[in-house]
Structure 1
C-alpha cells in the first residue's frame, strides 16, 4: 500500500515538473506531458457489459485498495451495449469528477452493415478494395454511412463536452492489425485516411473539441515500419499508444520503446492495452510511458494479486488518489449529475412508459411526458441539501415555452432560481452560474409550446453537498471517542459518499468495513474532504473508520 509519504512525494515531484511543460488546450493532456519521465498513470479498461461500467476498475480497487488513475470503456456494437451507452457516459462524468483520466474506444460496426452487428463477421470482417475506396471518398453512400455511424455516438461525446470532460479518444485502434474491418491498410489512402476523415468530422463538423486524439498500433515485429506506414500525420493525433500483447514474443523491449519515442516526436506515448502489467522496474527503465491500460479480465488472468499490488503500489505509478483533479473546467462544473436516478415526483404522466423516473436515468432515448395541459411539474429529491450551481434540461419536441426552475429545502417552500419566458425551440437549456441551496429541484412548466404536454429527456442537477451544523453535531461517534466534526453525506447513499474530516484528522487512514467486520475499502487521505465510490458494494450496513495521529472516529454508512 502506498504510504502518505509517497503520496506527498509524488505531489511535490508533479508540482516541480509541470512548470517546464508547454501548455495545450487540455489540462489532462498537459498532465501527461508533466509526468513524462517521472511517473506513469495506471489504467484499466472496462469491457462488456457497460451496464456496470466500472467492473474491472472496481476489481483493481478490491485487490489494491486504490482506483486506477485512468478509467476506460467502449461504445461497442451489440444491442445490449448500445442500450447502455448513457450509463457508461454518466460513469465517465463521475470518474472525471473524481480526478481520473477518461479513455473511450469505439468498436464500430462496418459501414456495409447496420448497427448492431456481431463480433465475428462484423467487427472482425473486411471490406473489398472497391468498398474501401468508396468509404474514403466524400459524399458516397459508404462515406455517408460511416458518418452516420459516428453520429450515433455524438450525443454522448457532446454530453461529456457539456460537462467539461476531456476524453482520450481512441477510434480505429490497432491500425496495423488486419483482423478488424478498418485496419491493416497501410499508406496514405489506407486506415490512416479513415482516421483523418473521422477526426475532421467529429472535431470540425460536430464541434467535439473535448477529444484528445490517440493514435494506436499493436506490437508486431514490423512496428518500426508500421509507425511510418499508418501515421495519419502529427496534426491528427495528440498521444501515440502501443497495445502490448507480446505479439512478436519480445514484450516490453527497448527497441519498441525507442521506436515509439522516435515516432512520437516529443508527444506523450502510452501503453494502450496490456495483459501483463509493466513492472515498476520496467517503468523505471522506460519512464516516458505516460500511462498504461490493463485490458479488463486479462489482467487478472495473467497477473497474480501480488503482481497487481506491486505495480499499483509503486512510487513511480500513479493511482486516482494521486491525480491533481481537473477543477471546474471554466464555467462548466464537472461534478457528477446529482439528480441521476434520484426519486422523482410529477404532476402527471401521459402514459405508463413516459414516467418521471425517465428524466433522471441518463438515457437520452427515454423521457418524461406530462398530460396535455399547462401548469405541470416534475421535481427530484436529491437526498441531501446541496449548493446548486447548474441545472440542465434536455427537452423533447414538446417543450415548455414558459417555465421556472425552483428549489426547496423542505418540499414546502419553493424559491424560483430561473425564469424562462418565450422559449422558441426545443434545444437543451443549460442554466449555469446558479447560486441556490436545496434538496429538491423542480421544473415548473407553465405554458406549452405545442398541443401536447411537456416532455423532458433529462433533468440534470450539479452542485456540492452541504452539511448543516445541526447534522454534523448530531452524527453519532462510536468506539467511545469524543465527538468530532466528521461528516459524511449523502447517507444513505447508492453510489458516491462525500467525507468531510475534522482538522485533527486530515492526514488519516480510512477503512470501510461491512457488517461482518471485513475490510472492503482502504485509503490514505491528506486533506479536508474526499469521496468514496460505493457503487460496486452490496446494499447493507458499513462502518467507516477514520484514524488520525491523535484520534479515531467511526460512522455508520447505509449503502442502498
Structure 2
C-alpha cells in the first residue's frame, strides 16, 4: 500500500508548459482532492438532456462534473445536417459552477458505409460503419485522408477555442477506448493511434493555442499509452453489471500500472455507480466518475422523465450524491480563483 499512497500525491503540473491559469487552477484543485474525495459526474444525452435535472430532483444535488461530446460537430456529420449543441451547453454548465469534460465520438472523416440501421452514417465512429483506414492515413501525410484528419481536428479546435476565450478549462478525453478496436481510431492497433494522439496534441496546442485543455487519456491498455509527456490524467471506462456497486479496484490498479509516474486516475465512464464505502475500503479512489446517459439514469413514465432503477437504484443514487466522500456541484470551490500551487 505504501507505494500506492505515494502514487496518490500528484503534482499539479500540466504537460503543456503554456497552460492557461484556468487549467492550472482546475488541476491544482483536482490534485488537492485526489485520494480524499470523488467528484460526482454525469454525461448528458445526445438528443434529450434530462440527466442533470433528474439527478437534482432525486438527490437535491447536481453532479460536480458535466460530460459533453463533440459527436455532432464531426464534419462528416455536419455535412449531413447534424447540429452540434454541446459547446453552448458546456459553457452554461461552467457558468453554473460545474466542471466540464468532453469526449469526441469522431465520425470517420470519409468512407462511411452508410447502411442503416446498424451501420448508418450516424454510427460512423464505429469500425464496422466505415472503411476509413487510420494506418494508411497516418503513413501518408500527403494523402487526402491525412488532410481530412487535420480538417476535423481543426473543426473541433474552433469549438474548444470558444471555450478557451470564455475561460473554461476542459478535461479533454479524445480517442477514447482505443484498445477495444470498436472505434476506427483503434482498429489498426496501438501505433497509428498513438501517432494520431500526438498529432492532435501538437496541433491543438501549438497551432490552435488551446492552453485550456487538461489531457485525459482513456486507451484502456498499457500498449496504447502515448507517454507521460502526452498525458495529464488517466481515465478508465467500466460498465459493471446492473445494480453491481463494486469499487472496480482491479481496473483502478490496472490504470495505475500504465506508467510509473504519479497520474490522477478517473472513472471516465461508468454504468452503475460505485459505492463510496467500497471505494474507500478497497483503495479504488477514482477522482471523478461520469455515469453514461439515457437508461443508465432515467426512464419515461407517462409524460414524465424519472430516475431509472435499472442500473443504479434510487437509494444508491441518493447515497452516492449525499456521501461525505463525494463532491457535488454546490460543494465545488470557486475554480476561477482557486489558488495556484507555486513550486
Query: Aligned equivalents of 1:303 and 1:186: distance in 2?
Result: 34
In structure 2, stretches of 5+ residues that fail to align are 1-8, 115-119, 298-307
Choose which of 229, 232, 252 in structure 1 pairs with 2:226: 232
Contact kept, 8 Å, 1:186 with 1:192, in 2: the verdict is no
Aligned residue number for residue 38 of structure 2: 40
CA distance in 1, matches of 2:132, 2:149: 16
Aligned equivalents of 2:94, 2:292: Cα separation in 1: 20
Rounded Cα–Cα distance in structure 2 between residues aligned with 1:284 and 1:81: 47
Selected match of 1:30 from 21, 28, 31: 28
For residues 105 and 21 of structure 1, the distance between their equivalents in structure 2, rounded to whole angstroms, comes to 24
Report Cα offsets for 1:370-412 as digits up to 9, x if no partner. Answer: xxxxxxxxxxxxxxxxxxxxxxxxxxxxxxxxxxxxxxxxxxx
- Take 1:35 and 1:82, find their aligned partners in 2: how far apart are those partners? 42
Pick from 182, 185, 193: which aligns with 1:182?
Answer: 185
Q: CA RMSD in A?
A: 3.0
Alpha-carbon distance in 2 for matches of 1:162, 1:329: 19
Take 2:210 and 2:195, find their aligned partners in 1: how far apart are those partners?
A: 19
Is residue 2:263 matched to residue 1:261?
no
Is it true that 1:165 corresponds to 2:174 in the alignment? Answer: no
State how far apart, in whole Å, the 2-side matches of 1:104 and 1:191 are.
Answer: 19
TM-score after normalising by structure 1: 0.49
When residues 217 and 23 of structure 1 are mapped into structure 2, their CA distance, relative to the original with a 3 A threshold, is: closer
Give the alignment's TM-score, normalised by structure 2: 0.77
Indicate conservation of the 8 Å contact 1:21/1:33, yes or no: yes
More strand by share: 1
Q: Which has the larger radius of gyration?
A: 1
Match of 1:205 among 198, 203, 207: 207
State the secondary structure of the residue aligned to 1:302: coil
Tell me the CA shift for residue 250 of structure 1.
11
Higher RCO, 1 vs 2 (CA within 8 Å, ≥6 residues apart): 2
Q: What do residues 103-162 of structure 1 show as CA deviations (whole Å, max 9, x unaligned)?
A: 111111113347x97244x22125769652223533321111011112222221111000
SS in 2 for 1:153: helix
Change (3 A) 1:148 1:142: same
Q: Which segments of 5 or more consecutive residues in structure 1 lack a partner in the other structure? A: 1-18, 219-225, 331-560
Contact 2:43 2:66 in 1 (8 A): yes
Greater share of helix: 2
Question: Contact between 1:75 and 1:81, CA under 8 Å: does it hold in 2?
Answer: no
Q: Give the equivalent residue in structure 2 for 1:275.
A: 271
Label 1:97 to 1:131 Cα distance change in 2 as closer, same or farther (>3 A). Answer: closer
1:296–1:131 Cα change, 3 Å: closer
Find the aligned partners of 1:192 and 1:296 in 2 and give their Cα distance.
28
Provide the aligned length of Structure 1 versus Structure 2.
296
Q: Deviations over 1:505-537 (max 9, x none)?
A: xxxxxxxxxxxxxxxxxxxxxxxxxxxxxxxxx
Cα distance 1:81–1:261, how it changes in 2: closer, same or farther (>3 A)?
Answer: farther
Structure 2 counterpart of 1:433: none
Aligned residue number for residue 100 of structure 2? 102
Q: Secondary structure at the match of 1:104?
A: strand
Separation in 2 of the partners of 1:252 and 1:29?
24
> Cα offset for 1:81?
10
Question: Residue 245 of structure 1 contacts residue 251 of structure 1 at CA under 8 Å; is this kept in 2?
Answer: no
Q: Which residue of 2 aligns with 1:125?
A: 127
Counterpart Cα distance in 1 of 2:127 and 2:58: 37
Secondary structure at the residue paired with 2:45?
Answer: coil
